[in-house]
């Protein structure tokens, strides 16, 4: 039995945030979901709105927030390249000012605070698979920099608030995650390919599709996030969370076509600049410190995601 906590989830209406809110509400915690609906809508959390331990606040984390809470999960930030490149200055502000505001809140209230960092802090990695000790290979002035450098700076702020003000931090570096509640048009590869396949439209392969990613199903990831939050104060991260099974983007496209029994063909598009060529988490830390590893493999997870997107059509 969990003791009842007051928990703030920023970005709580988004893909990951909505799953996290659902889980925390089901556990009986008092959940405050903060979101400015930049990349989401109330749809993802519609089923939580009538629960009396769930509260929704429209708020932009780049502005200060005054609430009294025991834990903060800081997820607010657009995550899809199309969305975060749409207003790159706002993306950096969301990561950096958002981190300062939420860390300030954690400092005042004494709350534990989780940061949704990303595998993008490794950039286009030259070490493979990526362990947490790798400092990364990031272009500071490219199209992806608003996101990558914003998240890197947020990590810096987390560790400085921890060293300087003893704030209790938990930093996870999340690798590509997919599943229900992803926005069908947000441009990320799994949602794009499934929507294209279900409509029998051409599958847009960027580059020659030989770049790799490692895809984690959302339920596994949420489990890892909550397990990290529940560790003792000595565990601060950063900790990689993701599924180490690595696939080329072409393999993903072929798998989606097979599972949807689609007649879609593959069409090649230009590879966006700075698109990482390979990505796979080393999850040794998560295994040893959290006793966590993903259980749902790609085919099973894709089937669940396909069912969700089928209903949307
Ligand atoms: P998402 O776009 O679905 O959700 C982000 C949420 O944050 C949205 O609801 C959006 O409206 C909200 N938001 C954006 N700017 C805001 C602001 N200034 N103030 C308040 N709310 C704001 O993305 P997601 O996939 O759920 O990602 C959640 C977090 O996890 C992000 O921080 C992202 O960087 C991180 N992450 C996700 C992945 C992944 O594969 N899904 C991988 C690495 C890191
Ligand atoms: N990608 C693709 N076709 C698409 C969307 C994405 O080939 O329609 C590729 C993209 O170039 C990248 C990979 O899929 O190499 C993952 O892209 P996504 O935007 O999902 O995540 P990220 O690049 O941030 O890992």
Q: What is the pLDDT of residues 134-193, one digit of tens each?
A: 999 999 999 999 999 999 999 999 999 999 999 999 999 999 999 999 999 999 999 999
Q: Which residue has a Cα nearest atom 15 of ligand 1?
A: 77
Identify whether the C-beta of residue 267 lies closer than 8 Å to the C-beta of residue 312: no
- Ligand 1 pocket, residues with Cβ under 6 angstroms: 10-11, 13-17, 35-40, 60-62, 75-79, 94, 98, 116, 118, 174, 176-177
What pairs with residue 123 in β-bridges?
Answer: 137
Domains in the chain and their CATH numbers? 6-178+215-243+281-295 (3.40.50.720)
Q: What is the mean pLDDT of residues 27-44?
A: 97
CA pseudo-torsion sign 172, 176, 179, 185: positive
Of 79, 105, 99, 95, which Cα lies nearest the Cα of 7?
A: 105
Catalytic residue among 73, 122, 147, 217: 147
Query: What is the average per-residue pLDDT within 15-32?
Result: 98
Please name the residues in contact with 309: beta carbons below 8 A apart, sequence gap of 6 or more: 184, 191, 194, 195, 198
Per-residue confidence (pLDDT) for residue 28, from 0 to 100:
98
Q: How far is CA 80 from CA 118, 191, 288, in A?
A: 12, 11, 30
The answer on pLDDT for 84 being more than 60 is: yes
**Which of 62, 52, 72, 58 is CA-nearest to residue 100?**
62
Q: What is the mean pLDDT of the chain?
A: 97
Q: Whose CA is nearest to atom 23 of ligand 1?
A: 79
What is the number of the ligand 1 atom nearest to the C-alpha of 119? 43
Phi, psi of 281 (to 5 degrees): -80, 140
Instruction: For 90-112, write each residue's pLDDT tens digit.
Output: 999 999 999 999 999 999 999 99
Specify burial of residue 307 (Cβ count, 10 A radius: 0-12, 13-18, 19+): exposed
Q: If pLDDT is split at 50, 70 and 90, which confidence band does 2 have?
A: low
Model pLDDT, residue 53? 98
How far apart, in whole angstroms, are the C-alpha atoms of residue 297 and residue 201? 26
Phi, psi of 257 (to 5 degrees): -60, -45
- Tell me, what's the pLDDT at 3? 87
Residue 147 annotated as catalytic: yes
Nearest CA to ligand 1 atom 21: 35
């Amino acid at each position: 039995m969990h003791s009842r906590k007051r928990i703030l989830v920023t970005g709580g209406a988004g893909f990951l945030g909505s799953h996290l809110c659902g889980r925390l509400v089901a556990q009986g915690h008092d959940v405050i979901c903060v979101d400015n609906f930049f990349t989401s809508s109330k749809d993802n959390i519609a089923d939580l709105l009538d629960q009396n331990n769930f509260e929704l606040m429209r708020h932009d984390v780049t502005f200060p927030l005054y609430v009294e809470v025991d834990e903060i999960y800081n997820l607010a930030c657009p995550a899809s390249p199309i969305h975060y490149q749409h207003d790159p200055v706002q993306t950096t502000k969301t990561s950096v000012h958002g981190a300062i505001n939420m860390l300030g809140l954690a400092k005042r209230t004494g709350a534990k605070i989780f940061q949704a960092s990303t595998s993008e802090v490794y950039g286009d990695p030259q070490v493979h698979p990526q362990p947490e000790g790798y400092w990364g290979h990031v272009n500071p002035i490219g199209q992806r920099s608003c996101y990558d450098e914003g998240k890197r700076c947020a990590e810096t702020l987390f560790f400085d608030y921890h060293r300087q003000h003893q704030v209790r931090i938990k930093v996870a570096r999340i690798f590509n995650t997919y599943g229900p509640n992803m926005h069908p048009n947000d441009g990320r590869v799994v949602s794009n390919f499934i929507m294209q396949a279900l409509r029998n439209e051409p599958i847009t392969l960027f580059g020659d599709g030989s770049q790799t990613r490692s895809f984690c199903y959302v339920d596994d990831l949420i489990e890892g996030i909550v397990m990290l939050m529940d560790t003792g104060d000595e565990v601060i991260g950063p900790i990689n969370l993701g599924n180490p099974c690595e696939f080329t983007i072409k393999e993903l496209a072929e798998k989606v076509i097979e599972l949807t029994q689609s007649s879609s063909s593959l069409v090649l598009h230009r590879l966006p600049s700075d698109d990482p060529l390979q990505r796979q988490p080393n999850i040794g830390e998560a295994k040893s410190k959290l006793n966590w590893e993903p259980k749902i493999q790609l085919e099973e997870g894709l089937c669940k995601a396909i069912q969700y997107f089928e209903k949307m059509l």
